[in-house]
Structures are given as C-alpha cells and as structure tokens.
Structure 1
Amino acid sequence: MLRFTAFSYLTLFVVFTSFVGCSRNPVTGKRQLILMSKEQEIALGKESHPSIVATMGLYDDTKLTNFINEKGKAMARLSHRPDLPYQFYIVDSPVVNAFAVPGGYVYFTRGIMAHFNNEAEFAGVLGHEIGHITAQHSGRQQTTQLISTVALIGGAIAAPGVVGQNLESLQQGLGVLLLKYSREHESESDKLGVEYSSKIGYDANQMANFFGTMKRITDNSGQSIPEFMSTHPDPGNRLTKVRELAKDYQTKNPAKYQIDRDNYLRLIEGILYGEDPRQGFVENNMFYHPELRFQFPVPNGWQHQNSPAQFQMGAKDGKSAMILMLAKGNSLDEAAQTMVNELKLSVQESNWTTINGNPALVIISRQQQQQQQGQPQQAPDPKNTLQIGTHLIQYNNAIYALHGLATVADFNNQFSTFQRVASGFRSLTDSDKLNRKPERVHIKSAPRNGTFTEVMTALGMPTSRIEELGVLNSLKKNDQVAQGTLVKVIGR
C-alpha cells in the first residue's frame, strides 16, 4: 500500500500551490493564497443550501423575504464582489443568529428579524454577513487550516469519525456549514458591515446598537444564543468599535443616513416569536410535539434546543445529552442497521422491548476508534470515548431515534436517565397541547407617556416579561417612551 511521509505531503503541497498561485483579495487588496476558487465557492453554497433548509426550514413570509432580497441585492451590487449569485433567506429558527455560506448564500433566522428594531440594524448585520463572503473568509480559513495540518503532519492523516465526543457529534446538518470565523475575520466583517450598510444609505451607528441587544441576550439567562457567539469578539467591545467605525465613515462621507424604524416595525408585524409549538415545545419538564402527537419528559435542569430536524437536550455539567430525530428505515431492524452503518458504531448489545405499547429496540453502542496507518491498535480511553444508548421507537408509521450520549466512564451513571426519558415516550392526547398557538410579535402604539415598564403594563404585558420585552425593543425598564411611539408586544 502506498504510504506518504510528512515530507511527501509537504512536497505535494508545494507543487500544488505553485500551480494555484496567489490571488489578490478583493477587500484587502493584498496577495494571498486561496485554495477555494470562485466556482468552488458557488458550488459549495449550492450544495449546502438544501441541507440548511432541511435542517432549519424556511420561514414563510413573502413581505420579509422580498425585503431582505431587495436590500441584500442592492448591497451586493456595491460590494467588493458584485459578480456572485447572491441569495438571501429567512430560516425558521427562534435563535438570534445570521450566517453566510460561500458563494453568496446569506441566512437570517426569524429570531434575529424579530429582534431588529429598524432597517439600519438589519442592514449592518446584512453587511457583516456579505463581508464574510466578499473577504473570502471561508477560503482563507480553509487555506490556513490546510497549511497548519501540513506543518504538523507526523505520519498518515486520519479523518475524524462521524461520531465525536460531544453533542455536536450527531448533528449532521449544519455542523460543517456554520463556519466559525476567527476574531480577526469577525472584526473585518464588522468594518465591512459599516461600509456596506452606509453605502446603501443607512446609519451604521444602529449596527453598533444591535450589539448592545446581543450583549443583553448573552448576559440574560434562559435566552437562546447561538454557539457561534463564543468565537466572536465580546458584543460590548464590538459596540464601541463599530460606533467608532461609523463615526469615522460618516465624518469622511457626510450624508443623511437613514434609520427607518417605523417602516421596519410594521414589516415584522405578526412574526413568529420563540418556539413554534407545531414543531414541539417544552413545558413543565415535558416535550410536546402537537403535529407528530407524542410527548416525553425532559430531565429537571437540562438545557434544550429544538429545530425542525431534531430536539437536543443536555445536562449543565456537560456529562450527558440526548437527541431525538427521525430514524431512516421502514422497520426497526432496517433503522438499526442504517444507523450503525452511517454513524460507524460498534454495537455492544441490543434488546427488543415495548414502550407504552410501541415496539422498540434498545441499542448500546460506541464510536469506532480511528486507527492511523502503521500504528498499533490502542485501547480506547473511557474518558474520551463516546457511548450511545439508542432507543428506536416505532410510532404512528414512523421510527424515532432517541439517542443518549455520555462517555464510557460516565455511561452507566447516566443510562438510567436515558431510560426514564425513553420510557416516558407516549401518545399526546391533551387538547390544550395539541391546539397550542404560537406567540407572535405585534406592533402597538404607546397609549401614554411614561417609562418602558409603564407603557408595557398599560398594554397588558406581565411584569415577569418586562426584561424580555426590553431586549426585544432595545429599551430598558426606566427608558422614557413617548405616547404614540411604536413598540413591540408579545401575544398569541
């Protein structure tokens, strides 16, 4: 069998890069090595898009979709790479997030659209995401990673297994697509966000203000915040920096920059807020799915996140997690075989059972260890090896996989929790849960002068949700609100 040494890989790399050569970055103007061509970027975007849609779903709002495409394409025309086939989408997720995929694909969650308070805030984040594309951050990151890999090669390269050592190991949709850029790239995109949003006429100071909203979301417990924030500069620091960038740009380019608050608020009237109960929701430590008509318990104190493709939950100590998803197959046997093959699992044991009248198969498995060529087989470390307790449950013409994850060292202590959750999987018959309506953002005029708290109270909002509503409106409880000012409230 042909084997490559580190020198061989390095030689191939040097030969390859001599053909590829360096290109000039359209944003920085500097020559740099990019191993992803424009055609490859576009192909990656096209390939990624169906997975994103399948995982998150698209939010059906024609007015909002037309709005982001109109602004996005206007901004793209003025960007450093106007020749890309840009496309803009709103995905059906309550998480406050926006992300871009190479080739011109930009996505906003309905959660972030609900939290913008004017067009200028939206435009700033839009410019930031387009900036990731125009500055070729994905290609630059890929190249940096490849160079680092070549430099560190000491033998054959082993590809990572499908099943990793934490919750992300079973996320097969967006894990590779939502690229975590470096702080340098984020700061560069912030600067481009100021430039691009200003060029289409918006006040980039509002982009800075939105980082204040993000900081409040980060600081408040119980809010759903994307993991990508952990790789970004601190929102408070970004607020200060972006404000400086906006001031500098407007000093050099004096003009009348727009905010357009009322127009934007009217545009988002009725937008879905929080979890869509049709896709499942948690209440009193129980997960309910009205459309699929089932329920199961959520362990006390566990954190959770729901999406159209799967439901994830995990203990705060990080020692255990569970994921519910649809299994592939028309029978329990077929689903089990497909799961084992696709996730490259080593089955330890399997047992047939019945869960509340539903046929089920319980499989205990471990991730298969990747062995490097020429290296002796090493015993797996129980502290780093993932063990999975899967309950495959046949219910209403579908098969559900409820995966419990823990390290081998912790698995026995956690398995009783996995069993309790699985044994609570049952038919949902409660009409209140089956007919639950989603919450939506509604736009109201302040009925009086007063503090934000007084205005919200006058509009019938509960005291317990004042801070949540404050984040949504980018206002603090003692901020003064004038009569007639448009504000957001939450209702069904």
Structure 2
Amino acid sequence: MNIPTPFYRLFLLAVVTVSACSRNPVTGKREVILMSKEQEVALGQQSHPAVVATMGLYQDKNLENFINEKGKAMARISHRPDLPYQFYIVDSPVVNAFAVPGGYVYFTRGIMAHFNNEAEFAGVLGHEIGHITARHSARQQTSQLFGTVALIGGAILAPRVIGQNLDQAQQALQLALLSYSRDHESESDKIGVEYSSKIGYDAHQMANFFATIKRISDNAGQAIPTFLSTHPDPGGRYNRVHELAKDYQAKNPGKYEVDRESFLRMIDGILYGEDPRQGFVENNMFYHPELRFQFPVPNGWQHQNSPTQFQMAPKDGKSGMVLMLAKGNSLDEAAQTMVKELSLNVLESAKTTINGNPALVIISQQQQQQEQGQPQQQQTAQNTVQIGTHLIQYNNAIYALHGLSAASNFNSQFPVFQRVASGFRALTDSEKLNRKPERVQVKTAPRDGTFSEVMVAMGMPASRVEELGVLNSMKKDDRVTRGSLIKVVGR
C-alpha cells in the first residue's frame, strides 16, 4: 500500500502546459492541443501504475484476451492507429469504463458483468477509443488533472475540506468543464458507433446499454438533470445513438453482429459486487479476511475501500482516518520512513501494545510546503494538519492507521482515533474469514414466463428482481423463453 500524495505530484510533473496548434485527427479542424503525441503516451505510462495501485487488475485470461483482441482490431481502423494502445480490466464493482491519454483504456469488472453481448462492449470500447483519437482525453484529462489533483492534495493536506468544502470545489470544477465535456461525450458516441460498426457489430446495442446505465443511475438515486451533468443524459443518448446506428447502417449495408451467447458464456463466473477478500464493512466493523484483521468503523462514518488503503470519515469532514501498509521491517524503520515521506514534525511518540501486537503511537503535524513563487502562508492551528498515527506490527507486516484533523480540533478527535486503533485485532470468526464473493452465473431458463417468474423459479429472491433485471437488461414483465441464457448471482 502506498501513500497517495506522490500520485498527484507525478501527474503534475507529467502534464506539460506548452500549447501547440495542430489538426484534430477526427474532425480535421485545427485547434490548440496542450500535449504532443509523445507527451500523451508518457502521461498514460506514468498514470497507469497509479490506476493499478488504486483499483487493482482483475485476473481473467479469457476476458483479457477478448478485450485485447477487439481493442487491437478497433485501434487498427481508428483515426490514430499508431498509438500504443493497451486494454485492461480493473478490479472494481462500479459500472464504468475510462480512457487515459496515450492509448490506455480501462473497463471495470462491474461493467463487464453488466454487458449482455459483444456488441454492447464494442460500442463502449469505440466510445473510449474515440476520446483518445479525437484527443478529448489529452485536453480534458489535462484540465481535470490540474483541478482534481489540487482537490486531492487539499484533502490530504487539509482534511477539514473533506466534507462540504470539497463537494463545493468539485462542483465548481465540474461546471467549469461542462461546456466541452458534453460535446466530447456526444462526439465519442458518434465515433463509437462508427468504430464498433467497422469491426462488424450492431451499434444499436450500444444505445441499449445506455438504457442499462440509466436504470443503474435511477435505482441508485443519482439521476441528475441533463443541464447539470458533465455527461449527456443516458436517456437522451439512447435515442441519439439509435439514430446514429440507423443512419450508419443505411449508408453501409451489411451484417452486423450482436453475439450474445458467446459473450455470456465468457463472463460466466465473473466476480459481482464487492469482493470480501479485499475487505468489507458489516455492522460498523471492517473485516479483512485475507490479512486476517478487523477494527471498528465509528457509527455514521462514511468509508471507501481500495486495494491500497481503507478510508473513512464523518459527514462533517472535520476529521478522517486512513489505513495503509507502512514501509519498513520494524516499527522504528516504518516511523522514520513515514516522517520523511510525509514531511512530518513529530510532537510526541510512545511505544505500546494493541491487543498483544507491538505498536508505536506518533503525534505529528505536517509541515507546510511553500510553493515556488508564492508567499509563505502563516501556519495556524486552523490550517495545520495534525496526525495521530498508530503503527501496528501484525502478522509480519506493519500497518499505519492515521487519524487526521486540523490541529485546532485534534484534541477532541484523538479519542475517536484511539478507540478505532484499540479495536485493531486478529480476525478469527470463521464465517467472516470464509466469506465468499458473489459471482455471475449464466444458466438456462427452466421455463417460459416473465422475467420475474423465471427469477423466482431459479431461486432468486423477489427483492433482487430489479437488480437482476438491470444485470440482464430486462424488465420484470419481459418474456423469457425456456432454454435461453440468463444471468443470476450466487456464491
């Protein structure tokens, strides 16, 4: 596990802000581009380790071979076939796909599980490659990196903005990017139709997948008005992409494939939802079966887990806690490395034991870094980050449990940090240790009937019919034919 601060520094160093006027390879128009091709490739290469460290890669050789085969085929017919394209599946349950300048394209295992045929995948693949070939990624990623890393850096260096202030800053950033983001998304939809059609797939299926996205958004309560979205409304895109596909196929008659059965067979067994092996929260307790430890999560705190760290914070944003792996073979070595890397001023430290595990408690403050050309800011209790770190030696590893707040609030927050750290202990509950992840299981429908009736006949609880309907891109009253392939979920 790595401390995330160097990631945004790496991004900033990678982004070169010397503008040049060049011709867009898709539109043919001359426009200002902030990065050369070489700089795009370099940024992709430099950002890839951060993506992998944050999300992890999902290991499935058949799926990896599939996305690389289709990705390379699409790259060859794209407007920029000379880029060193690379395609990856990241280990996240979120339904998402994204591209990084230089030809790096990522699909989450969550979106792979929700595709219902190869044509849906091809449409999204074309959309993401379209961002790269039209150089959206170079321009938009540059703006987003400058804005986002400032927010990330601010959240790390000043956790008091984790709450409302960060939300306001993010909203301002999104609105600032709004004017071109919608246009780029719409243009990538058009490119996605073109590219997926050129490698032989029915682009109408791309439109159908937008209906899936809209259901996910609606069911999560995250639907937002079109005019406030940085992406076009999925419902609006559904109609537009159908029109684009219809127009393309009218001008280019041919046989366009869907390939449902082959795709479903390929994703049979894919991980679905959160992977408990990477840790999970249940009843205000974080459990990590593979690393065999647990510790409490304060009531009402929000949390986010990733392969590199576990973060949690109260809604008021006045404090936060982060668990990560410390660097070092001993508590003293880990402490020295941490102090150096985070530029900490140690106020006090003490050795202790936590449930039989050797530990070191360090109270420190983060030294403010003066930016070149900027006046030195006076350091106060309100703008100084104070950190209560518990370094815990457990099972041949050293874990750092950081509690952060402004120095002015630290004394009131530290008891909470202590309670969490004092609850760090060995995980021995066999049910938690052996918790299996859910997986997509592709089966044949045992009878004719509505989707809802078939789900019940296949042993699925009625409470999950809508969720499974989204997974299968079907409504509860849609007709299912006996013997047809259908996705269910089980351990």
Matches within 5 A, 1:13-52: 21-52=20-51
Q: Does residue 421 in structure 1 map to residue 403 in structure 2?
A: no
Counterpart amino acid of 2:197? S
Q: Which position in structure 2 is the counterpart of 1:378?
A: 378
- Give secondary structure in 2 for the equivalent of 1:163: helix
Q: Which position in structure 2 is the counterpart of 1:58?
A: 57
Give 1:147 deviation, angstroms.
12
Matches within 5 A, 1:8-407: 21-141=20-140, 163-166=156-159, 182-221=181-220, 231-371=230-370, 373=373, 375=375, 377-380=377-380, 382=382, 386-407=385-406
Give 1:64 deviation, angstroms.
0.9
User: Are the equivalent residues in 2 in contact too, given 1:288–1:433 (CA < 8 A)?
Assistant: yes
- 1: CA distance, partners of 2:233 / 2:27: 24
User: Per the alignment, do residues 366 and 232 of structure 1 end up closer, same or farther by CA in structure 2, a change over 3 Å counting?
Assistant: farther
User: Are the equivalent residues in 2 in contact too, given 1:98–1:112 (CA < 8 A)?
Assistant: yes
Deviations 1:336-391 (A, max 9, x none): 23223323344444343321111222334444334454635334472x65443322
- 2: CA distance, partners of 1:146 / 1:443: 40
- 2: CA distance, partners of 1:326 / 1:60: 23
User: Are the equivalent residues in 1 in contact too, given 2:154–2:161 (CA < 8 A)?
Assistant: no
Aligned length: 451
- 2: CA distance, partners of 1:220 / 1:304: 21
User: Per the alignment, do residues 274 and 144 of structure 1 end up closer, same or farther by CA in structure 2, a change over 3 Å counting?
Assistant: closer
- 2: CA distance, partners of 1:331 / 1:168: 33
TM-score (norm 1): 0.82
Give 1:126 deviation, angstroms.
0.7
Percent of aligned positions with the same letter in both sequences?
A: 77
Give 1:81 deviation, angstroms.
0.3
- Unpaired runs of 5+ residues, structure 1, are 1-15, 149-156, 170-178, 224-228
Deviations 1:401-437 (A, max 9, x none): 1223444555455433333222211001122222222
- 1: CA distance, partners of 2:246 / 2:59: 37
User: Are the equivalent residues in 2 in contact too, given 1:34–1:143 (CA < 8 A)?
Assistant: no
User: Per the alignment, do residues 41 and 476 of structure 1 end up closer, same or farther by CA in structure 2, a change over 3 Å counting?
Assistant: same
Counterpart amino acid of 1:217? I
Give 1:318 deviation, angstroms.
4.2
RMSD: 3.2
Deviations 1:276-333 (A, max 9, x none): 2222222332222122111112233433332222223333454443322111112222
User: Per the alignment, do residues 168 and 73 of structure 1 end up closer, same or farther by CA in structure 2, a change over 3 Å counting?
Assistant: farther
Q: Which position in structure 2 is the counterpart of 1:474?
A: 473
